[in-house]
Amino acid sequence: MPGQMAVAGNTGDVRIETAIAKDVICWKNNILRFNNTPVKEIVPMLEHWYGVSIDVKNMDKAADKRFTMTIKTESLKETLQLIKYVTPIKYSVNGEKVELKFLD
């Protein structure tokens, strides 16, 4: 239906969520947009966008974190710095591997 999208979970489950079409399809214009999106959904999108593997060391601390942002031409490090600006994190980038830790 209009305004809805199917989202596949890690366990193979599928759920229907409300979606804003312009936010969902903006990737085709080389834009990645998050609108109050939980970290667990952002991480795989960033991995695909930047071609890296992101290991979140303490996802339990990040479970309630949500982000609203638009990424156009920002590098991976610039994006991580933007996240760090609004949420205390530590991160390291080693080639295609990123380690991310949410702080208290």
- Provide the pLDDT for residue 27: 54
- Provide the pLDDT for residue 14: 81
- Provide the pLDDT for residue 1: 61
> Residue 44: which domain range?
23-102
Provide the CATH number for the domain around residue 80.
3.55.50.30
- Provide the pLDDT for residue 18: 61
Binned average pLDDT, 10 residues per bin, the chain of 104 residues: 63 70 53 87 91 93 89 92 92 96 89
- Provide the pLDDT for residue 32: 86
Count of residues making up the chain: 104
Residue with tokens 């982000």: 67
Q: How many domains does the chain have?
A: 1
Segment 8-17 long-range contacts (CB within 8 Å, at least 24 positions apart): none
Task: With respect to residue 50, please indicate whether it lies within any of the assigned structural domains.
Answer: yes
For the purposes of burial, counting CB atoms within 10 Å of the CB of 80, is it exposed (0-12), middle (13-18) or buried (19 or more)? buried
Task: With respect to residue 39, please indicate whether it lies within any of the assigned structural domains.
Answer: yes
